[in-house]
Amino acid sequence: MILSRADWTARAQAHQERADALTAEHRARASRREKHPVWDFLFTYYAYKPAQLRRWHPGAGVTLKDAPERTAWRWYSSSGDDVTPDADVFAADKPELAGLIERMLRRTASRPGQFGCFGLHEWAMVYRQDEHRHPVPLRLGQDATDAVVESHDLRCTHFDAFRFFTPDAVPRNRSPLTRDDQPLFEQPGCLHAGMDLYKWAMKLGPLIPGELLLDAFELARDIRLLDMQAAPYDLSGWDVVPVRIETPEGKAEYVRQQRGFAERGAVLRGALLGAWLSSPVRT
């Protein structure tokens, strides 16, 4: 695909406007030095600034005509003033990262989703602990929160959630998880695996179309809300309505939303693989 300057600048402008709308509330809070226990995660844990989110790329193998300002951009190949994001250049520059992202996306896509965790990873992060990662109260109190953990089977499959389990919660998980084994356990029902599609899209930079990047961010945003609704924290001060996974009704609602996010994630996961690995440059 070849985009004229008029075409690609119009797409870049539309992307920037959409990104600005998605980050407007966060940027306003940041200007006031105001913290938010739900939404700050999207910019602190993933550590990508709004300015990075608004940077539009066309995707691997798509040529931008008359783009001299991008000839020095990373992972772009140039021919005169025409530039093309180059998947082979990325793979040569970042072979370990390229291999990891491909393994994570392909292996996760190949597995059936698991829907019996009920978001208990957040509960395991405060289990039998006086000090918590989030400075907000537990809506059931410590003893009742611990009892919920003890009455359930912990089935976390995501290492980056498991690594925050309290020491007493670690041996309660069905499987011990390590960083090296992460590609072996990741599965598409996991909320964090869905949120991480945003991370992989950002790491692939210009190889991923900007529209797809923002779709991944929107999925991460929507998943994050459920993640905190199902958590043990009292977030009523931020108008967060809990999904009470300690009840049968709450479990059913959690799984209903979890399945919807898994379906959205499957589409985006396939699109990320297709945009990157099926590019004309690479093939």
The per-residue pLDDT for range 100-150, each reduced to its tens digit, is 999 999 999 999 999 999 999 999 999 999 887 778 899 999 999 999 999
Where do the domains of the chain lie?
Answer: 2-277
The pTM score is 0.94
Average pLDDT of 165-170?
96
Residue pLDDT, tens place only, 242-278: 999 999 999 999 999 999 999 999 999 999 999 887 6
Has residue 281 got a pLDDT over 80? no
Write down the pLDDT at residue 130.
Answer: 83
Share of the chain above pLDDT 90, in %: 91
Average pLDDT of 175-202?
95
Write down the pLDDT at residue 19.
Answer: 98
- Rounded to 10 deg, the angle between the 210-229 and 191-203 helix axes is 150
Has residue 67 got a pLDDT over 70? yes
Mean pLDDT score across all residues of the chain: 94
